[in-house]
Amino acid sequence: MPDRLPPGQRAVRGWPVLHEGPVPRFDPARWRLRVWGAVSREVELDWPAFQALPRVERTRDWHCVTTWSRLDVRWGGVALRPLLDRAGPRPEARHALVHAFDALGYTASLPLADLLHPDNLLATHHDGEPLPPEHGGPVRLVVHHLYAWKSVKWVWGVEVLDRPARGYWEERGYHDRGDPWAEERTHR
């Protein structure tokens, strides 16, 4: 299936675990999903409110910048787009920083337009099973169309910005957008 593999990628069968730092403990009593920054209305949802949102499934290919790709990954969870629409990004908003609740405070930055892609998920399930903690459970972002470092595990926050900012890997030389088909691996 070479037409499904972006340049420099190879398909793997298993599911590599890849992240910086230790897997954090999830506390459902303290977790909140927040959308804030350059928005008209901040969104804040606790775990029960998040769990009550409509659920969707998406099966898509997924590409890590370290050259592995997974084909037909089946994710389940909550569509991100309606939550961003609810927050109402202000006209000047162009960028976003997505935050994890791990000890590292991992973040990924991306153009707001890419975060608004209707396929993006706050994934809680994989192949119909709850997402394991090492893969970002109970909830991670999935942005299928960008390199996987943008798909923040253990997500809690989306910060909408009217100016560019850089996340964990972007600060370390990785690309601000990260389109695998354009091989946007690092900054020029």
Tokens 């787009």 correspond to 81
29-44 core/surface letters (b: 16 or more CB in 10 A; e: else): eebebebebbbeeebe
Give yes or no for residue 60 binding ligand MTE (CB under 6 A). no
Give yes or no for residue 102 binding ligand MTE (CB under 6 A). yes
User: What is the enclosing helix (H) or strand (E) of 126?
Assistant: strand 121-126
The footprint of Mo ion on residues 65-94 (CB under 5 A) is none
Using CB under 5 A, pick the residue from 84, 93, 148, 155 that binds Mo ion.
Answer: 148
Distance in angstroms (rounded) separating the CA atoms of residues 33 and 40: 17
Give yes or no for residue 83 binding ligand MTE (CB under 6 A). no
Half-sphere exposure of 117 (CA within 13 A, CB side): 15
Tokens 């153009």 correspond to 111
What DSSP state is assigned to residue 174? B
Give yes or no for residue 135 binding ligand MTE (CB under 6 A). yes
- Window contacting Mo ion (CB under 5 A); options: 33-41, 59-67, 76-84, 91-99: 59-67
Tokens 């659920």 correspond to 55
Half-sphere exposure of 124 (CA within 13 A, CB side): 15
Radius of gyration of the chain (CA): 16
- Window contacting ligand MTE (CB under 6 A); options: 45-53, 111-119, 152-160, 175-183: 152-160
How many residues line the site for ligand MTE (CB under 6 A)?
A: 18
Partner that binds at residue 153, options ligand MTE, Mo ion, none, CB closer than 5 to 8 Å by kind: ligand MTE
Q: x-or-dash pattern for Mo ion, window 116-135, by CB under 5 A? A: --------------------
Using CB under 6 A, pick the residue from 96, 142, 148, 158 that binds ligand MTE.
Answer: 148
Residues at the contact surface with ligand MTE, assessed by CB under 6 A: 15-20, 64, 100, 102, 106, 135-136, 148-149, 151-154
Per CB under 5 A, residues contacting Mo ion are 64, 148-149
